[in-house]
Amino acid sequence: MNQKFVGKPWLDARIRNILTPLLWTQSVSNAGDYGTWRHNFIQNRLRLGLWIAFTSFLTFTGLEVRNHFFKPDQFNFSWVVTQITVELSLLVCFAFLRSTFGQKYPGLAFLIFSWSVTLSPHIRGTFSGVLEPSILVWPLMFFGQATLMPVHWRLHLISQLGVLVYCAGTTAALNLQVKMPAPWLTPAALYLYMFWICFICDLSVYLYERVQRAEFNARQELELAYVELTAEKERSERLLLNVLPESIAVRLKQEHQTIAESFTDVTVLFADIVGFTELSSQISPPELVELLNQIFSAFDHLAEEHGLEKIKTIGDAYMVVAGLPVPRKDHAQAIANMALDMQQALDQFNARTGQSCRIRIGISTGPVVAGVIGIKKFIYDLWGDTVNMASRMESQGIAGCIQVTHSTYDCLKDRYQFKERGIIHVKGKGEMTTYLLTGKK
């Protein structure tokens, strides 16, 4: 194959323009209503019919030209004139259909197209005083219109009646000689023959219109259902991402199996509201939930701002981690900044609402195992000694303070200020030295 012509954009565009009317691929949601869609459909089919008719007449013109040069005895000059007349009228139809008026009234373009093909030979016969009904052109045109251009059954009926009225009217008015195309064909048989052809064509178009409208409505409902399904899927995706990290959510949807990973270096933070139990007995449940929602929503914004992964809330406890599922070198610094900002956010909340809430914060650094377990209401959770130590730092911490383990202190001591709390007894660990984070250097 000549590579020169492969992938030509103009050729691809021309092929698409020609084939588009053959395919019912227009989105009904873009059309809006059936009338608009039907109007566009008719215009596309008219262009297709015009191209086919113009091409077919060109082939017959080419045949007559061949006869002129090679078979002069078969050459018919009057047919060449008729064919060129039809071709010119089809070009006029093309131009009319591209005009603003033609685009607004494509049915008029259809009638001009139909009569230019069916009546041109008979107009020539009218001037010669002989009218010969065409049992070849008429059925071919009427069936072609019904199959390729089913615009509307009433327009098809008008185009058919126009042909019959012209033939009958000119014959009566000009006293033309009627020449039957076949010796066995009588006027009564011709009328009956044309009646059944027109009836079948109009009935086909009518039934096609009903099927087309029903299919349009079905496709419209299908597209609407698809839009709703897409929106529901997006809502489900957002809910899933609120529960799981994005990378874990993708893996869970693809693998459908237990997900567990080990991370050697992360920092975990636990926070707990001091005196929450006493507070819950003093205010109503809706007020309590609203209070927690405001506080934890502020913490969520901070976690997103610092690029941290919120793990869960249990009651009035808040858990967040840095360094997973995507490892990062500054995990300890990110958690330290988060803890300091949490204290500041709670102070602002107290000043705004008149409350006197305080929090204990515990931080620990080290290895963890992270994953998703269970088959219902699953969450992304952490396990390991680092998690236990962060929880102990919080539960055995001081209200309003940030208590960290020695491992976290080693990561942050060069950039942050600490106060040594001293040796405390940690459940399950015994005596340990802990530190209180007070700010940045």
52-64: pLDDT as tens digits: 888 988 998 899 8
Give the pLDDT band (50/70/90) at residue 175: confident
Query: Is 273 within the bounds of a domain?
Result: yes
Cα(200)–Cα(147) distance, rounded to whole angstroms?
Answer: 11
Rg of the Cα trace of the chain?
42
**130 - beta bridge partners?**
177
Query: Is 229 within the bounds of a domain?
Result: no
- 269 is written with which tokens? 């933070």
Pairing of strands 358-372, 416-426: unpaired
| pLDDT (average), residues 300-320 | 89
Q: Provide the 8-state DSSP code for 269.
A: E
- Position 154 scores a pLDDT of 92
Q: Which residue has the higher pLDDT, 33 or 15?
A: 33
**Within 175-284, where are the H helices?**
187-243, 246-255, 276-280
Pair (182, 271) in one structural domain: no
Pair (160, 216) in one structural domain: yes
- Position 251 scores a pLDDT of 65
Kindly report the pTM of this predicted structure: 0.53
Give the pLDDT band (50/70/90) at residue 256: low
Pair (380, 321) in one structural domain: yes
For the ranges 23-37, 46-60, 134-148, 336-350, the lowest mean pLDDT is seen at 23-37
- Position 341 scores a pLDDT of 93
Query: Is 248 within the bounds of a domain?
Result: no
Which of 184, 204, 224 finishes a domain?
224
Give the pLDDT band (50/70/90) at residue 249: low
Would you say 267 and 408 are in contact if contact means Cβ atoms under 8 Å apart? Answer: yes
Pair (23, 86) in one structural domain: yes
Pair (148, 65) in one structural domain: yes
Residue 40 has pLDDT above 80, yes or no: yes
Considering the chain, what percentage of its residues have pLDDT values greater than 90?
22
Pair (139, 27) in one structural domain: yes
Phi, psi of 185 (to 5 degrees): -90, 120
Pair (140, 208) in one structural domain: yes
Pair (278, 382) in one structural domain: yes
Q: Looking at residue 384, which CATH number applies to its domain?
A: 3.30.70.1230
| pLDDT (average), residues 224-245 | 77
| pLDDT (average), residues 335-357 | 89
Using alpha carbons, select from 393, 373, 394, 374 the residue that is nearest to residue 382.
Answer: 373
Residue 355 has pLDDT above 50, yes or no: yes
Pair (94, 22) in one structural domain: yes
Give the pLDDT band (50/70/90) at residue 32: low
- Position 241 scores a pLDDT of 67
386-431: pLDDT as tens digits = 999 999 999 888 888 999 999 999 999 889 999 988 888 888 788 8
Query: Is 230 within the bounds of a domain?
Result: no
- 58 is written with which tokens? 């060109």
Query: Is 32 within the bounds of a domain?
Result: yes
Pair (34, 172) in one structural domain: yes
- Residue 314 lies in domain: 253-440
- Position 22 scores a pLDDT of 47
177-220: pLDDT as tens digits = 778 777 777 888 888 988 999 999 999 999 999 998 888 888 88
- Position 245 scores a pLDDT of 65
Angle at 235 between CA 230 and CA 236, to 5 degrees: 95
- 111 is written with which tokens? 């009638």
Q: Which residue has the tokens 């449940």?
A: 285
Pair (155, 262) in one structural domain: no
Query: Is 312 within the bounds of a domain?
Result: yes
Total domain count, the chain: 2
Cα(122)–Cα(114) distance, rounded to whole angstroms?
Answer: 13
- Position 5 scores a pLDDT of 42
Pair (162, 14) in one structural domain: yes
- 288 is written with which tokens? 């309590």
Query: Is 243 within the bounds of a domain?
Result: no
Which of 206, 224, 242 finishes a domain?
224
Residue 334 has pLDDT above 90, yes or no: yes
Phi, psi of 65 (to 5 degrees): -65, -40
| pLDDT (average), residues 136-149 | 87
Would you say 268 and 386 are in contact if contact means Cβ atoms under 8 Å apart? Answer: yes
Q: Which residue has the tokens 């929106």?
A: 231
- Position 205 scores a pLDDT of 92
- Position 229 scores a pLDDT of 87
- Position 255 scores a pLDDT of 62
For the ranges 80-89, 231-240, 351-360, the lowest mean pLDDT is seen at 231-240
For the ranges 56-60, 291-295, 353-357, the lowest mean pLDDT is seen at 353-357
Average pLDDT, the chain: 83
| pLDDT (average), residues 255-267 | 78
